[in-house]
């Protein structure tokens, strides 16, 4: 699925879109960054409630296609800025992680 | 053995705006050299965990990176507080990360286990009050 299509399905708002055509091939949910780092597959959609600047470094290094901030949390200004310079796709949604994933998987 | 590139980085303590930049630079260099994406991934994971540990636990340090045709050697050296019990520190789930750092998503106690898992050579030497040296090698497959 393409990043832009996923954002629509999840009912998320774009925070930073660097490459809407990038492919997502799988997903990962988690907030502890070392779990994400060690386990999030390449080209995944990462669902989290973490909003600080380190999210960008992890997304970059783990080759995440799209970060979705759930539960209506707001990204820190530093995170938004860094995602822009690093080219990380970032979106936010009011849905909780389970609900966001369910929409992503089309099980609504 | 033919050496391609030597890189050195100053890693600033407690500076999250910069944390990960050294790892990112190594990653871009490997990409330019045409290294296999799966190998780059292992390097990125191991180096980021080591870099962020120096940021959080050691008030910063230095990273020395040597890239060869068939492997990468990463040495992370800090003059931080050191690790009293390395075996304990290596245990998945063990963490002394303070609450403010946990609130940022660190402190799962998975950094060192990740580093060991994704590297081919992994050694730590540490002395309390003096600092820590982490030596890693990733062999390109
Ligand atoms: N460079 C270092 N200097 C001093 N202590 C360290 C250093 N690296 C690791 N440690 C100690 O080892 C513990 C375990 O490290 P590890 O990276 O596995 O987990 P963490 O950093 O606490 O959490 P996580 O990496 O999952 O966010 C740390 O909590 C800390 O006490
Ligand atoms: Mg760590």
Measure the CA–CA gap between A10 and B137, rounded to whole angstroms: 40
pLDDT at residue number A8: 97
The boundaries of the domain holding residue A82 are 3-104
pLDDT at residue number B3: 72
Domain count, chain A: 1
Concatenating the DSSP letter of every residue in A62-76 gives TT-SEEEE-TTPPPP
- A37 CB neighbours in chain B (<8 A) are 45, 48-49, 110, 114
Q: Name the residue of B78, B89, B118 to mutate for ligand 1: max ligand atoms within 8 A of Cβ.
A: B89
Does ligand 1 come within 6 angstroms of the Cβ of B109?
A: yes
Q: Which residue of A has its CA nearest to B50?
A: A34
Place A108 in a pLDDT band, splitting at 50, 70 and 90. Answer: low
Q: Which residue of B has its CA nearest to A76?
A: B104
pLDDT digits (tens, 9 = 90+) for A50-86: 999 999 999 999 999 999 999 999 999 999 999 999 9
Q: Which fold has domain B5-139?
A: Heat Shock Protein 90 (3.30.565)
- How many secondary structure helices (H) and strands (E) does chain A include? 5, 5
Give the pLDDT mean for A81-108.
95
pLDDT digits (tens, 9 = 90+) for B36-86: 999 999 999 999 999 999 999 999 999 999 999 999 999 999 999 999 999
Q: Is the ipTM of this complex over 0.85?
A: yes
Q: What pTM did the predictor assign? A: 0.96
Backbone angles phi, psi at A105, to 5 degrees: -85, 0
| CATH code for position A96 | 3.40.1390.20
pLDDT at residue number A40: 97
Tell me the domain boundaries of chain B: 5-139
Give the pLDDT mean for A22-29.
98
pLDDT at residue number B1: 56
Residue B46 is encoded by which pair of tokens?
């191991």
Give the pLDDT mean for B111-120.
98
């Amino acid at each position: 699925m393409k990043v832009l299509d996923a954002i629509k399905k999840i009912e998320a708002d774009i925070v930073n879109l660097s490459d809407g055509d990038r492919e997502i091939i799988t997903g990962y949910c988690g907030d502890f960054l070392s779990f994400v780092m060690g386990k999030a597959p390449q080209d995944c959609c990462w669902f989290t409630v973490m909003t600080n600047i380190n999210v960008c470094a992890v997304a970059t290094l783990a080759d995440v296609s799209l970060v979705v901030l759930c539960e209506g949390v707001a990204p820190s200004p530093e995170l938004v800025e860094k995602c822009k310079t690093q080219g990380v796709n970032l979106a936010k949604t009011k849905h909780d992680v389970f609900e966001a994933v369910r929409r992503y998987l089309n099980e609504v | 053995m033919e050496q391609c590139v030597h890189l050195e980085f100053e890693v600033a303590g407690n500076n999250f705006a910069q944390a990960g930049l050294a790892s990112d630079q190594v990653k871009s260099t490997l990409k330019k050299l045409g290294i296999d994406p799966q190998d780059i991934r292992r390097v990125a994971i191991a180096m980021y965990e080591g870099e962020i540990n120096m940021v959080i636990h050691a008030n910063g340090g230095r990273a020395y990176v040597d890239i060869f045709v068939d492997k990468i050697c990463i040495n992370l050296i800090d003059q931080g507080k050191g690790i009293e019990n390395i075996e304990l520190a290596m245990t998945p789930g063990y963490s002394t990360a303070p609450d403010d750092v946990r609130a940022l998503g660190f402190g799962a106690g998975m950094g060192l286990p990740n580093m060991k898992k994704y590297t081919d050579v992994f050694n730590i030497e540490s002395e309390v009050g003096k600092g820590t040296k982490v030596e890693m090698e990733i062999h390109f497959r």
